[in-house]
Structure 1
């Protein structure tokens, strides 16, 4: 298993938004504890958005790509200088090796203990448990009992009110979108409201500092 250091505890997931909305969220994230953003590949113009956000904010915020399903998509994202890629499904050994070669953090999705173990053995840096809220925080605790502490990210139905339960149960990371932000504020680029939503979210987590 590849050793991973210094990956942000919470990643902001942005799915289906245009460049202006993504930029507004990332601007609001600057200087906060939210230090990574995932732009999903099933957003229109995702690669162009990623390139622009990396160019403007890449020195301050870790920018990654989500919903990566193929090697071709992974290569396009890595060419756009992402720091990490995520998927709702397991990733092939070829994709994981390509990420390792290019020093890009890989976060494939998994559900069962077998899928989690296999992904880590294949070289994944983090395994995304998705959809996490359908399983509940105790699932993380239950699978960690026999398998030990693993670099797990919970995604799907996670929000300000329940995220700490998952961290206490053994998750190391979380990916959250609508669980932090009001969708309308993202669409209208209401940065003042977005900043307030981040401030509230920050109070709900033990950041371990």
Structure 2
């Protein structure tokens, strides 16, 4: 079994965490294959639709792919995604009961934070990697730079407002271990099974990631 550190290292290696909303549970595996083959070997399958859990389970069975769960708001949901094979859990906010359940199930946790107070609490609870949401509305890269002053060891996953236009700017910052967004996994394309389009978008996204890394 992979440790939390192993999972976080893999997420950092990939550098991009697609945020997926699916309407058909059977689309999880082919979507994961399309992303993996395009150079993005992970995704966060949200629980915003009834199909999310089944799609996560399908993606978790794809070799070379790291399937995670997003919008996990309760311990019951944390148990459900762990049972489905999630390698990591992402929450929009800081919920101790969700964190405790994910840790009990030995699933890597990336809790959501928005304020310095929440960052400080997360670090006191042993987290070095957090999700900053909604990053764009909070101030984007300028906000992340400001957090880097008092929290130089913090590693962040910006989410909310990340796009193809600013991905390089986010990923060029050393405190950003990965960035999440949904433009490379359009819901409409997934719903129609157009994984070829998803693959093209993911390849373009991976190219931006590589460009950002070369600029560091």
* TM norm structure 1: 0.87
Equivalent in the alignment of 1:139: 143
- SS of equivalent to 1:13: strand
Counterparts in 2 of 1:46 and 1:205: CA distance versus 1, 3 Å: closer
Q: Which residue in the other structure is 2:169 paired with?
A: 165
> How many positions carry a matched residue from both structures?
204
Question: Is 1:188 paired with 2:189?
Answer: no
- Using the alignment, how far apart are the partners of 2:10 and 2:51 within structure 1? 29
The answer on 1:66 being equivalent to 2:70 is yes
- TM (normalized to structure 2)? 0.84
Distance 1:76 1:184 in 2: 26
**Counterpart contact for 2:28–2:57, Cα < 8 Å:** no
Mean Cα displacement is larger for which, 199-208 or 113-122?
Answer: 199-208
Correspondent of 1:198 among 196, 202, 206: 202
**Deviating more after overlay: 25-34 vs 141-150:** 25-34
1:120 CA drift (Å): 2.5
Note the C-alpha offset of 1:132: 0.9
Question: Would the aligned equivalents of 1:24 and 1:186 in 2 still touch at CA under 8 Å?
Answer: no
Q: Alpha-carbon deviations, 1:83-111, whole Å to 9, x = none?
A: 0001111020x432433343311011111
Contact 1:105/1:125, CA 8 A, preserved across alignment: no
Question: Residues 182 and 51 from structure 1, CA distance in 2 versus in 1: closer, same or farther, beyond 3 angstroms?
Answer: closer
- 1:12 is aligned to 18
Cα 1:22–1:81, aligned 2, differ >3 Å: closer, same or farther? closer
Match of 1:117 in 2: 120
Distance 1:5 1:72 in 2: 27
Give the Cα separation in 1 of the matches to 2:58 and 2:202.
Answer: 23
Ranges in structure 2 where 5+ consecutive residues have no aligned partner: none
**Change in CA separation of 1:203 and 1:22 when aligned onto 2, cut-off 3 Å:** same
User: Matches of 2:52 and 2:187 in 1, distance apart?
Assistant: 18
What is the CA–CA distance in structure 1 between the aligned matches of 2:89 and 2:9, rounded to whole Å? 16
Aligned equivalents of 1:47, 1:181: Cα separation in 2: 17
Structure 1 pair 68/124, CA: closer, same or farther in 2 (3 Å)?
Answer: farther
Secondary structure of 1:152's counterpart equals: strand
For 2:103, the equivalent position in structure 1 comes to: 100
Structure 1 unaligned blocks of 5 or more: none
For the residue of structure 1 that corresponds to 2:9, the secondary structure is: coil
SS of structure 1 residue aligned to 2:10: coil
* Alignment partner of 1:46 out of 48, 52, 63: 52
Aligned residue number for residue 80 of structure 1: 84
CA RMSD between the two structures: 2.2
